[in-house]
């Protein structure tokens, strides 16, 4: 079993929500490095549409917490240019559904610049964005497109499932000299948990975290489905011993922690809110089949959105957005 590799060990903690954990990470990194600044739509005076950056504008001023025009290609592109020229921008894209507007700057500039230039450009940019259904926000404000960014060479992508992971991963993302996409599930902002208070605490990009140990089946979950899976694991205690892993990092992917887990349990459910085909699920399955074929005791199960968009009406939305019940059903398929 791999231990959680976060540094330093989280001795002193404080209970906070995901929203507060992200804000604390931004504050600590802005304090640590003057070149860190935040920009995006309504992140300043307004405090962010989900109130994540609330108070930072008053604390750090309009140079370091910058309200942009509604202009994703422009301000994401400016973020790329700023990162390549000596600053460390944290760019907020209000909804991940809008990332396509900035697609060119992400695909052909941000992701390729270092490589095309023979390694001679740094790209210390973090893109924070929101994902997920469950708010009745309909298809253009509810998507979970993180697979695209995990798939595209030259980008890194993380999906925290706990407040602790949110803080630690965002700090790592900001400190990284590579472009990192930080995907926040909108329904998690109020979720609380213990978070290390030491400003030197970070969670390495590329390492999953075992959130609950178990011996019968591994649930590899992301974002909101980590919490849902932990609840299911509690419900099933005594009946099925469920191990829950917060994947945390989509790319790079922590194959080793997943392999360690499946060697123990022989069974795996992958729960991620992205559409099922060609997704995170498939990548995890593929690596387990490649590396741990002879450890498998049952077919691997995928829980996600069944290849539709996220519809508006509540009964329709509830139908396609995965939750704990879907994780429970998947577990029962294999144990």
Residues involved in catalysis:
72, 141
293 binds another protein (CB under 8 A): no
329 binds another protein (CB under 8 A): no
One character per residue 240-259, x = contact with another protein (rule: CB under 8 A): -----------xxx-x----
211 binds another protein (CB under 8 A): no
CA dist 310 and 273 (Å) reads: 11
CA dist 201 and 204 (Å) reads: 10
3-state secondary structure 197-234: CCCCCECCCCCCEEEECCCCEEEEECCHHHHHHHHHHH
60 binds another protein (CB under 8 A): no
How many other C-beta atoms lie within 10 A of the C-beta of residue 74? Answer: 14
- Which of 3, 11, 12, 85 touches another protein by CB under 8 A? 85
41 binds another protein (CB under 8 A): no
State the minimum distance, in angstroms, from the CB of residue 147 to another protein: 15
Q: Nearer to another protein by C-beta: 103 or 306?
A: 103
Helices (H), 90-223: 103-104, 113-116, 146-151, 163-175
- Which of 133, 154, 227, 322 touches another protein by CB under 8 A? 154
| DSSP conformational letter for 152 | S
Helix (H) or strand (E) holding 331: helix 324-334
Residues that contact another protein, how many (by CB under 8 A): 50
Helix (H) or strand (E) holding 73: helix 72-84
- Which of 33, 54, 122, 241 touches another protein by CB under 8 A? 122
CA dist 229 and 242 (Å) reads: 9
- Which of 92, 97, 178, 272 touches another protein by CB under 8 A? 178
State the minimum distance, in angstroms, from the CB of residue 127 to another protein: 14
State the minimum distance, in angstroms, from the CB of residue 13 to another protein: 27
State the minimum distance, in angstroms, from the CB of residue 121 to another protein: 5
Contact between 67 and 103 under an 8 Å Cβ cutoff? The reply is: no
Tokens representing 221 are: 């979950």
For another protein, the binding residues (CB under 8 A) are: 35, 37, 63, 66, 68-69, 71, 73-87, 89, 104-105, 108-109, 113-123, 153-154, 156, 176-178, 205-206, 251-253, 255
């Amino acid at each position: 079993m791999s231990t959680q590799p976060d540094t330093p060990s989280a001795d002193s903690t404080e209970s906070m929500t995901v929203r507060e954990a992200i804000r604390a990470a931004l504050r600590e990194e802005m304090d640590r490095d003057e070149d860190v600044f935040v920009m995006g739509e309504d992140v300043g005076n307004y405090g962010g549409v989900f109130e994540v950056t609330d108070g930072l504008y008053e604390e750090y001023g309009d140079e370091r917490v910058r309200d942009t025009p509604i202009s994703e290609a422009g301000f994401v592109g400016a973020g790329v240019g700023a990162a390549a020229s000596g600053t460390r921008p944290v760019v907020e894209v209000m909804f991940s559904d809008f990332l396509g507007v900035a697609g060119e700057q992400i695909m052909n500039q941000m992701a390729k610049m270092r490589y095309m230039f023979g390694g001679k450009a740094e790209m210390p940019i973090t893109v924070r964005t929101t994902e997920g259904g469950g708010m009745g926000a309909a298809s253009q404000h509810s998507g979970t497109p993180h697979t695209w960014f995990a798939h595209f060479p030259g980008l890194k992508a993380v999906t925290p499932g706990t407040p602790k992971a949110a803080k630690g991963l965002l700090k790592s993302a900001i400190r990284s000299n590579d472009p990192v996409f930080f995907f926040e599930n909108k329904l998690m902002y109020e979720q609380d948990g213990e978070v290390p208070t030491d400003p030197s605490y970070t969670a390495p990009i590329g390492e999953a975290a075992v959130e609950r140990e178990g011996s019968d089946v591994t649930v590899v979950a992301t974002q909101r489905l980590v919490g849902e899976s932990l609840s299911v694991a509690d419900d099933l205690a005594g009946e099925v011993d469920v191990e829950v892993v917060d994947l945390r990092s989509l790319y790079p992917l922590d194959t080793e922690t997943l392999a360690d887990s499946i060697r123990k349990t022989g069974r795996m459910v992958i729960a991620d809110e992205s559409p099922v085909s060609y997704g995170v699920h498939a990548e995890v399955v593929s690596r387990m089949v490649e590396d741990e074929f002879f450890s498998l005791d049952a077919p691997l199960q995928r829980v996600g959105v069944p290849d539709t968009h996220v519809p508006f009406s509540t009964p329709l939305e509830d139908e396609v957005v995965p939750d704990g019940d879907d994780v429970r059903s998947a577990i029962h398929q294999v144990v």
